[in-house]
Every structure is written in C-alpha cells, then in structure tokens.
Amino acid sequence: MRIVLVGDRIIESGWCIEELKQIAGKYGAEYTAIDWETKNVEDLRVKNMKIEKEGPSAVEPPSELRELVRDADMLIVHFCPVSAELIDAGKRLKVIATLRTGLSNIDKAHAEEKGIPVVNLPGRLNEAVSDFTIGLIIALGRGIVAANNSLRRGQWTKNFESNESFIEIPGKTVGVIGLGGIGRRVAQKLAGFDVELLGYDPFVEQGDIESLGVKMVGLEELLSSSDIVTIHTKLTESSKGLIGAPELSCMKPKSFLINTARAEVIDRQALYDVLKSGAIAGAALDVHWKEPIDIDDPFIKLENVVLTPHISGTMKESLLKSFSRLSGRLEPYYEELTKQR
C-alpha cells in the first residue's frame, strides 16, 4: 500500500509524519508526504475561495503530485485541489481522503464514477467554531471589543454609543440558522445560558433536534423573534443571499447578528445599511465578502461591528488532531488495501 499525503500552510505534512510511521509499521505501507506551497496563509485562502467558486480544476496542485499519484493507492489532502485530471493520473488510486469536512476541493463526482470512494472528516471544527461563536456573542453583547480598543487609545470610559444595546444573555431568544454539526454544538453550549432556542434549517426536522431544546420555525419568525441570530449554514445556491434587506428588516432593533459561516449568505449592502442606520444593534463577522478585507472597507468604520479575520476554525489544537481522527475513519481501507497486496 502506497500513501501520498499533501499538507499545506494550515496543516503541514510534518504534523502527520508520526501517524504515517505508525500506519507504515502496522500495515507495511509506504508513504510520501509533501506540501502544497503557497506564498502565505492568505494566499492559500484566496486559492481555496477560487476553488470553492470555480471547482478543483481552477487552481494547480503541486507540480510533483501528478507523478506521485501514479503509483498511489491512497491520496490524502487538506486544501490541495484534486481535479478529474489528477484523479485520472492515479492509475492505482483506490481511496481519496481529505482532512476537511467540506469536499469543494475534490471532484467527488468524477472519483465516484471511477469507483473511488472519497472520505472526509465531518465535525472536525465543530468545537473550535462553536466556541468562537459563543465568544463573539458575549464580546458583542457586552461591548468587550469596543472597551478594549478604547483603553488602548488611552481612554478610560464606561460610556459607549452601544451601551444601551448591551445585554445579559439569560432570558434572551437565540436563533440558529443552520443546524448541522456546528449549529447543533452552538445550541448545546447556549443551553447552559438559560436561553430560548429557535432553529431554521430546511433539511432538519423537529424530531432530529428535539433533545437540544431547539424549536424549529420559519426564517421570518426566527429573525423577528430572536435577540441574537447566529448563522451556520453551508453556502449553496439556495443559501446564497438568504439574508437580504427584507429578512434584515424583520429583526428586532436591539438584536445582534453573528456570522461564522460564509459571507455570501448575507446581502452585503443590506447588512451595512441596517448597521449604519442602527436598525439592528450590531453584528460580529468572521467571514467577509472579500478576504483579506480592505483597510478602507466601510464595515471597519462601524462602531457596532466586531470583525475577525476568518479565524473561527483556525485552532491548532483542533488541526493537530485532524490526521489521527481521519486515520480512524480510514482504518477499514488500510486493512482492505493490505489484503490486496
């Protein structure tokens, strides 16, 4: 069994060597580990966004990968694109795996046409992103970022423009849009804050989340009833622009909007307008319509907005565990490929 692993600037191939050595020892596997080189982390993210929009053939993989994959039984990647052309080059390829939850960088349909299973890692970032979301809710609801920035400017003040919007979380209604793995973990963690939980997800039935204490409602009801709205839906054709001007107009004047999913779920101009006018109390955004965000982006000038550079899932502790978790899912394939030798 020959394994080719491609790391990158987020998960370096060197982080996986010890695990690869154990697989080699247990199954007699041979392995090659390389990295998909990019200028920096931001360059990697830009390339990944291009892949998400245009598909895995839009960006070139490492030049040596086409040769390496020819004799590989298993290809493991993180962000590295795996196009139909690369799959075709893998004459012996039996399995493709990714250290991610999403599959946008892999031509899954082409792989399956050739009878090659694609294995992903669902729930990899559930803890990291859900923790970050809770942190944003508290930071925004209590003005922590504004207070920190003020103090660093040499000001000692307890009066901010947003003081009247500060909230205590217990007793509030929180609407969770998107109840996949991350949205469910957010709901579970918020339950400890003694809140009422509303949920919206066209693909989830009430019975699926009964144990979480979430009441499934329509989108308009969720937006009009919630003091805090947090978005965790995937970006699809149906979810793109899901929150536009009509939806934002449903929200309470003192409500907050949190987005750690994808920027395109929200209409950019519509959100800016309601924040600028004070039609809603504030927003916290970890994802942006252009990344990296421009220094003169109008959202930066809004005092009622907390902005972070798409870091909710970038937590080394979670990333370091990715390969061992994926390896557990690959165990049946290791055994089968060993038998085929």
Active centre residues (catalytic) = 262, 291, 310
CATH of 126-307, one of 3.30.70.2740, 3.40.50.720, 3.40.50.2020, 3.40.50.150: 3.40.50.720
The domains spanning 2-121+316-339 and 126-307 adopt the same CATH topology:
yes
| Per-domain residue ranges of the chain | 2-121+316-339, 126-307
- Convert the pLDDT of each residue in 97-146 to its tens digit: 999 988 999 999 999 999 999 999 988 889 999 999 999 999 998 888 88
pTM of the model: 0.80
Query: CATH fold of 2-121+316-339, please?
Result: Rossmann fold (3.40.50)
- Convert the pLDDT of each residue in 200-236 to its tens digit: 999 999 998 989 999 999 999 999 999 999 999 988 8
Residue 161 has pLDDT above 60, yes or no: no
Residue 166 is predicted with a pLDDT of: 78
Given strand 305-307, what is the order of strands in its sheet? 214-216, 196-200, 173-177, 228-231, 256-259, 282-285, 305-307
Residue 50 is predicted with a pLDDT of: 92
Instruction: From 318, 310, 317, 312, select the one nearest 292 (Cα to Cα).
Output: 310
